[in-house]
């Protein structure tokens, strides 16, 4: 009987170890799916969407779904999302995604337990280069500002237009620019490894774009190519 118990225990542990990687990957697949849904939902209403002119000029976009505040007052916040950059200066199509986390910062008037989605527009190559760091802080490292929206976005203040990263939030259906100064953006290397099946340098994903888009991320890339197929950024042609 003792041998049977030991045998069943060994089988159970083996099954658990075999299914763990698949479960972990499923979580990252769900993250990509949720980011795709948020993009569609935000862009569905032109008056509330990311301004088209800014999206077309952006080098990269970050989507961080379901960031939750862990306590009232100045409690911590943490969320996991994805960043996608354009492939090149000419075609304007979007390349393979890289996984990131967002944590800390005041995040406005978010209530305890409230879930908020965040969108980050990286407006130039200097801003994109911060993404190659293991982590950086919005406002302290990369210049950041609450993103303008609506049809008056083009007439926004110089501070907004000079910012390397423009930031937005969506909570309870309301989409608006919000300051995320003090928030820390980190590479999520474990998540990248789960999605791509191997370790890949983030630079190859975001700026070189010589890696194939994984099937789980294809709907997100298709959506970005649909909403902003042209690159109107100031990136010099090769």
Domain encompassing residue 191: 31-227
Confirm whether 143 is domain-assigned.
yes
Is the pLDDT assigned to residue 14 strictly greater than 80?
A: no
Sign of the four-CA dihedral 101, 103, 109, 113: positive
pLDDT at position 154: 56
Domains identified in the chain, total number? 1
- Per residue in 183-227, pLDDT (tens digit) is 999 999 999 999 999 999 999 999 988 899 999 999 999 999 999
pLDDT at position 45: 79
User: What three-state secondary structure class fits 135?
Assistant: strand
Confirm whether 115 is domain-assigned.
yes
Confirm whether 176 is domain-assigned.
yes
Confirm whether 6 is domain-assigned.
no
Pairing status of strand 174-177 against strand 184-187 = unpaired
Confirm whether 233 is domain-assigned.
no
Range with the poorest average pLDDT among 26-35, 113-122, 138-147, 223-232? 113-122
Which has the higher per-residue pLDDT, 26 or 212?
212
Confirm whether 99 is domain-assigned.
yes
Confirm whether 125 is domain-assigned.
yes
Global pTM exceeds 0.95:
no
- Per residue in 125-161, pLDDT (tens digit) is 999 999 999 999 999 999 999 998 765 555 455 545 6
- Per residue in 53-89, pLDDT (tens digit) is 899 999 999 999 988 766 544 456 789 999 999 986 5
Tokens 């939750």 belong to which residue? 68
CA separation for the pair 127, 59 (Å, rounded): 9
Confirm whether 93 is domain-assigned.
yes
């Amino acid at each position: 009987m003792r041998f049977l118990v030991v045998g069943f225990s060994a089988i159970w542990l083996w099954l658990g170890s075999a299914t763990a990687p698949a479960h972990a990957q499923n979580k990252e697949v769900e993250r990509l799916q949720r980011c795709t849904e948020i993009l569609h939902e935000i862009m569905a209403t032109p008056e509330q969407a990311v301004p088209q002119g800014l999206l077309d000029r952006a080098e990269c976009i970050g989507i961080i779904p379901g960031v939750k505040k862990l306590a009232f007052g100045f409690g911590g916040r943490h969320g996991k999302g994805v960043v996608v950059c354009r492939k090149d200066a000419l075609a304007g199509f979007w390349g393979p995604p890289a996984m990131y986390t967002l944590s800390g910062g005041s995040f406005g008037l978010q209530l305890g337990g409230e879930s908020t989605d965040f969108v980050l527009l990286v407006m130039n190559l200097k801003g994109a280069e911060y993404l190659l760091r293991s982590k950086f802080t919005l406002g302290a490292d990369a210049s950041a500002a609450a993103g303008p929206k609506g049809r008056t976005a083009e007439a926004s203040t110089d501070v907004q237009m000079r910012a390397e990263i423009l930031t937005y939030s969506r909570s309870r259906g309301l989409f608006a620019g919000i300051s995320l100064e003090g928030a820390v953006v980190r590479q999520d290397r474990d998540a990248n490894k789960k999605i791509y099946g191997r370790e890949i340098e983030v630079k190859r994903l975001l700026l070189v774009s010589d890696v194939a888009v994984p099937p789980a991320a294809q709907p997100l890339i298709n959506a970005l190519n649909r909403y902003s197929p042209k690159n109107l950024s100031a990136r010099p042609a090769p």
